[in-house]
Structure 1
Amino acid sequence: MSAAPDFGAPAATEPEMPPRNPTPSAAERPGPLHDPDPYGTPPYGQPGPWAPAPPVQHPAATPAHGTAIAAPATAPQGPAAPAPPGRQGAGLPAPTGPQGPGASASAGPQGPALPAHPAPRTVPIPTPPGPPIPADALAPAHAQSGALAPAHPQPGALAPAHAQPGASACPTRRPHTAVSSPTDAPPPPALDGTTTPPAPDPWRRYDPWAAASQAHAPLQQTGAAVLTVQQRRRRAKRILVGGALVLALVSGGVGGVVGAFLEREGGTGSVRLPQAGEEPSGRPADSVAGIAARALPSVVTLHVKGSDEQGTGTGFVLDTRGHILTNNHVVEPAASSGDITVTFSSGDTAKARVIGRDTGYDLAVVQVSGVHGLTPMPLGNSDNVQVGDPVVAIGAPFDLAGTVTSGIISAKERPITAGGESGDGSDVSYVDALQTDAPINPGNSGGPLLDSRGRVVGINSAIRSAGSGSDSGGGQAGSIGLGFAIPVNQARRVAEELINTGKATHPVIGVTLDMGYNGDGARIGAKGGDGGPAVTTGGPADRAGLEAGDVITGVDGKPVHSGDELIIRTRAHRPGDHLRLTVRRDGRTKEVSLTLGSSGRH
């Protein structure tokens, strides 16, 4: 082959590099069972330097969206050299330039050649022991002096020849070389000749025994670096200190609150029992509490002192002029001479005087003077009361002022008599009473009996005790649930007469009764109390045709069983009212009508 033409410049020859390891000849080495591998992978079934394990890949932090990334600096590249013949498609770059024995690479007119990429690192292949192989037998076809040609010659540089003179034209097996990683290449020099240090590479080979550096620390899912042991310790210390401060503050606050509570409640040694809290003071108007709240300001307590005896009773205000209604037997000790003191619910006291009283009805009216702001008690209608209706009694039993009890109406039109201590019957009271089971005791006499609306329907007057029979309040027997009250309709008429005239009128038939008669009904006596006729001449009974010895067995259709009961039934009416009497005479019964007369009593 002819020598390469000279372009006027001396040929640049590469220094010869002695072979590092002797390699066997191509004739002695067994041929591969497959096509030549450009990556240097050893033949299957043969020992050789296996490729190292791929590096453990660590994900690098991805810059945020929109962040500008600087482009890597690149060295100027020359024109690509064509692949040598016979090596096309092998995947390796081929040198360019004239070929033939003795060809050498020479610098072109463009200047000295600079490699665009570093030469790949060669990995020696261990060979089995045997006779030495001549060096020229395994010389590469493209090397002139044993040195490897650059993978990418610079523009203008001559490529080395592929074979030496006298060498076999058949291409020999190239030594196995390890494929170099692009990251192993040194950075290209800058224009000023300086070399930029390589940037940290997270894709380096992983060494499990190497100390971790902060630059190549593993990353979390958020992209932040994992804290080191010292950083975690410092962070734990800060958390512990902060938690201790918070715990101290909370403990101090709780301790202060508990201490204040214990100090206020008397310490831990005292016993504190559960108790309901405060509730609204208002009550329904129709409840006992609501009724009592409205009625108590109108109820008074009377303390009576006479020359021979004294006592306590109850009354209630009738009007703003100071008139107070009570029982006759309450004020009777001071009727002629004595002292009456009235105590109001507010605690104020005032002197009172008797305006009028009546023993037959057991009612009296007293008046206080110099007292203002009195609250009159509203009056109801006793005819509207039904058995079973709830009632409230207010009084001063045994001088306990403002005592409130409750019950029901047990019966109506219950005929009772009270008094009679004088012996002549002048002090006997006849009452067509309301019976109640509300507790009434001595001291309740004269107090109001109220309905569910707080209106007066009766005046408490008498009780039936277990040992002494009927008691009008003078004794000290207690209640057994049998109390009696004067109906307010009767009390109202009597009170008006006492206030206006000082005395009360009584409706009369005009006959004298035989109180010793034991038969059924009320019999007219044989003669009057003064020795005159038993039927008053010109009176209501005389005009109706009644005679001595007639027996009255009914009033307005209601049966009458005794003389007292006839008096009670009669006094339940006003003078001038019409009565229808059932009369039995000589075994025959007939009905007669009459108009009640009037008689005045002090």
Structure 2
Amino acid sequence: MDQGKAAGPKWWSRPEPVTPAPPEAHAAPATPSPQAPEDAVPRHGSDPYDTPPYGEPGPWAPAPPVTRPADTPPPAVPPVPPMPPHTAAPAAGPVPPPLPVGQWHRYDPWAAPGPLPAAPRTSRRRGPLAAVLIALTLAAGGLGGVLGAYAARDGGSERVTLPQASAPGEAGKRAPDSVAGIAAKVLPGVVYIHVKSDSGEGTGTGFVLDDEGHILTNNHVVETVAKSGTISVTFNGGQIRTAKIVGRDTGYDLAVIKVAGVKGLRPVTLGDSDAAQVGDPVVAIGAPYGLEGTVTSGIISATQRPITAGGETEGSDVSYVDAIQTDAPINPGNSGGPLVDSRGLVIGINSAIRSADSSSDPFGNGSQGGSIGLGFAIPVNQAKRVAEQLINNGKATHPVIGVSINLQYDGDGAQVSPEGEGDGDSITPNGPGAKAGIEPGDVITAIDGKRVHSGEELIVRIRSHRPGDKLALTLKRGGKERSVQLVLGSATG
């Protein structure tokens, strides 16, 4: 709109101040007068020039500007009637100061003097800062409420008690054939072995055989300290004692050590490994990676599993074991620990594992991964015989057939070394094989009716027996199959 033309009141502009009437028109009377009637002062709606287009304003709304033609005199103010005699005239108070330009408010001259009303708030859009302040206020209020409730609950007389089921039966008791029951029975007889020598340190497991302090373990656990070094034995109760080697056998991978001055020993009970069957539950106890008192469970996966282990490092002997296979987790550090049945009887000595890395040492001498469910234990019937010989004689005997085996033969079966091969005789003179009629070049294919597929497997089968046992061998010679009978001999070393 063109602001140079006065087309009427400017409703969007601030009001111009109204020129007051001459002083004599509003002079106060000399004598007291009664209170002026309410219509003594013009109100909105009573003046034709004072009618806003938006109706009667509210008590806090700004007064619209009053605009009159310049030639129109202000209306006369009627005389004020006298006040009653008993009513005193209002005290002449100070005239309020003029409102600053732009502060929209009406002043009633007949109202009692008092503070001016506050200016009305203007509406504005709340920005992000206001939203953040409100959110922080609410969050602080919520946190204060939570802390207050917690403080009241913690400091008050009421305390929270959560429900909990009680253990069935007598507390701490488990069935004897449960894993917990088996562990409680066997753990007191299991020990943890730490060896230290100039070549390094190692750990393993063993178990108490008798009250004299004899402990059975694997040979590869203690072989590094056979000449020099120390053996430290930690019992399940926390006692630590030094031990010495009584005897060891590399072919069976067994050793017996002994501690002295220990009271209250808890020997384990040996079972019958020949009675073990595939699928029977078993429990393995040991210290895998130094974690003493570790208990794992599984089943017997196979029996009479021929394995060979060791020999990967220089000076390490090869062990031949007709093993019990189990899927109970066994890891490095379990070596020498017991494999027990559901009655808590030892049926095997945990000795080897097959890891995901086929090139690793199954005895844990090299770098290898953990268990993949292929663990192997020396049958306790074989270990019992060897342990007795080591305790009584300091060494064990091996059953032999008196022939040399060609381990490079790649056919099916175990070949007796042909004449002239190897450092010694193919057939030991007057040995069990010579007496049975075995000749150089014969291929042995079965023992007591069980197939033999390699020279290593033949040795394992022989080692699973005792000297003096009778065997029936099936062999091939010149394309023909024949059977022979022999009695196992004995050898040491």
TM-score normalized with structure 2 length = 0.66
| Secondary structure of the structure 1 residue equivalent to 2:475 | strand
| RMSD (CA atoms) | 2.1
1:524 counterpart residue number: 416
CA distance in 2, matches of 1:310, 1:503: 25
Q: Is it true that 1:299 corresponds to 2:190 in the alignment?
A: yes
Structure 2 counterpart of 1:8: none
Find out whether 1:327 has 2:218 as its counterpart.
yes
Q: Which residue number in structure 2 is paired with residue 277 of structure 1?
A: 166
Percent of pairs identical after alignment?
A: 64
Query: What's 1:548 paired with?
Result: 440
How many pairs does the alignment contain?
339
Match of 1:465 among 355, 364, 367: 355
Q: Residues 197-212 of structure 1: matches in 2 within 5 Å?
A: none
Q: 1:417 aligns with which of 308, 314, 328?
A: 308
1:489 pairs with 381, 388, 401, which one?
381
Structure 1 residue 580 corresponds to structure 2 residue 472: yes
User: 1:375 Cα shift?
Assistant: 1.0
Cα displacement (A) at 1:458: 0.3
CA separation in 2, counterparts of 1:399 and 1:387? 30
The one of 571, 581, 593 aligned to 2:485: 593
Q: Is this contact kept in 1: 2:419–2:441, CA < 8 A?
A: no
322, 335, 340: which one aligns with 1:445 = 335
The answer for the alignment partner of 1:358 in structure 2 is: 249
1:102 is aligned to none
Are the structure 2 counterparts of residues 547 and 300 from structure 1 closer, same or farther at C-alpha, using a change threshold of 3 Å? Answer: same
Matches within 5 A, 1:261-272: none
TM-superposed CA distance for 1:467, in Å, is 1.2
Which residue is 2:453 aligned to? 561
Amino acid aligned to 1:337 = S
Measured in 1, the distance between the counterparts of 2:296 and 2:303 equals 19
**Change in CA separation of 1:544 and 1:325 when aligned onto 2, cut-off 3 Å:** same
| Native 8 Å contact 2:285 2:338 kept in 1 | yes
Answer yes or no: is the 8 Å Cα contact 2:476–2:482 preserved in 1.
yes
In 2, the alpha carbon distance for the partners of 1:547 and 1:346 equals: 58
Residues 1:429 and 2:313 are matched in the alignment: no
**Do the aligned residues in 2 keep the contact of 1:512 with 1:528 (CA within 8 Å)?**
no
Contact persistence 1:285–1:291 (CA under 8 A): yes
Q: Distance in 1 between matches of 2:483 and 2:240?
A: 55
- SS of the aligned residue for 2:311 comes to coil
Alpha carbons 1:528, 1:535 under 8 Å: kept: no
- Aligned residue among 318, 326, 337 for 2:228: 337
Instruction: Give the Cα–Cα distance (whole angstroms) in 2 for the partners of residues 528 and 319 of structure 1.
Output: 49
* Equivalent-residue separation in structure 2 for 1:267 and 1:573 (angstroms): 73
* 1:393–1:405 CA contact under 8 A, matched in 2: yes
Offset of residue 278 of structure 1: 4.6
2:166 partner SS: coil
In 2, Cα distance between the equivalents of 1:568 and 1:449?
Answer: 20
1:301-316 aligned within 5 A: 301-316=192-207
Pair 543,373 (structure 1): closer, same or farther in 2 beyond 3 Å: same
Quote the Cα distance in structure 1 between the aligned partners of 2:471 and 2:164: 63
Partner of 2:288: 397
**Pairwise mapping of residues 108-147 of structure 1 onto structure 2 (< 5 A)?**
none
- Separation in 2, partners of 1:541, 1:410: 34
Aligned-partner residue type, residue 352 of structure 1:
A
> How do residues 37-436 of structure 1 correspond to structure 2 at under 5 angstroms?
274-279=163-168, 280-422=171-313, 427-436=317-326
The structure-2 alpha-carbon separation of the partners of 1:591 and 1:311, relative to structure 1 and needing over 3 Å to count, comes to same
Please state how far the C-alpha of 1:477 moved relative to its aligned partner.
1.8
Separation in 2, partners of 1:288, 1:264: 45
Q: Is the 8 A contact 1:468 1:477 kept in 2?
A: no
Structure 1 residues 527 and 402: CA distance shift in structure 2, 3 A: farther
Residue 465 of structure 1 aligns to a residue whose secondary structure is coil
Q: Secondary structure at the match of 2:406?
A: coil
On the 8 A contact 1:408/1:436 being kept in 2, the answer is yes
One-letter identity of the residue aligned with 2:414: A
Question: Which entry has the higher C-alpha Rg, 1 or 2?
Answer: 1
The 1:344/1:527 distance shift into structure 2, 3 A limit, reads farther
1:526–1:533 Cα contact (<8 Å) kept: no
Residue by residue, what CA displacement relative to the aligned partner does 1:255-314 show, whole Å, maximum 9, x if unpaired?
xxxxxx96599967x8x7654335521111101010000100000000011110211000
2:426 paired with 1:534 = yes
Matches of 1:350 and 1:441, distance apart in 2: 24
The DSSP-based 3-state class of the residue aligned with 1:471 is: coil
| Structure-2 change in CA distance of 1:545 and 1:286 (3 Å) | same
In 1, Cα distance between equivalents of 2:156 and 2:394? 64
Q: Summarize deviations over 1:295-339 as a string: whole Å, max 9, x none.
A: 000000000111102110000000000000000000011111000
Structure 1 residues 525, 378: CA separation in 2 closer, same or farther (over 3 Å shift)?
Answer: same
Question: Counterparts of 2:162 and 2:483 in 1: how far apart (Å)?
Answer: 73
Q: Which structure's residues are more often strand, by fraction?
A: 2
Q: Give, in angstroms, the shift of residue 406 of structure 1.
A: 0.3
The structure-2 alpha-carbon separation of the partners of 1:557 and 1:394, relative to structure 1 and needing over 3 Å to count, comes to same
Structure 2: segments with no counterpart, 5+ residues: 1-151
Instruction: State how far apart, in whole Å, the 1-side matches of 2:391 and 2:415 are.
Output: 35
Partners of 1:382 and 1:600 in 2: CA distance: 24
The question of whether the paired residues in 2 share the 8 Å contact of 1:512 and 1:527 is answered with no
* Residue identity in the other structure for 1:463: I
In 2, the alpha carbon distance for the partners of 1:529 and 1:494 equals: 32
Distance 1:293 1:533, change over 3 A: same
Of 479, 484, 500, the match for 2:392: 500
* Unmatched 5+ stretches in structure 1: 1-260
Q: Which SS does the other structure have where 2:298 is aligned?
A: strand
**Counterpart-to-counterpart distance in 2, 1:536 and 1:462:** 32
SS at structure 1 position matched to 2:324: strand
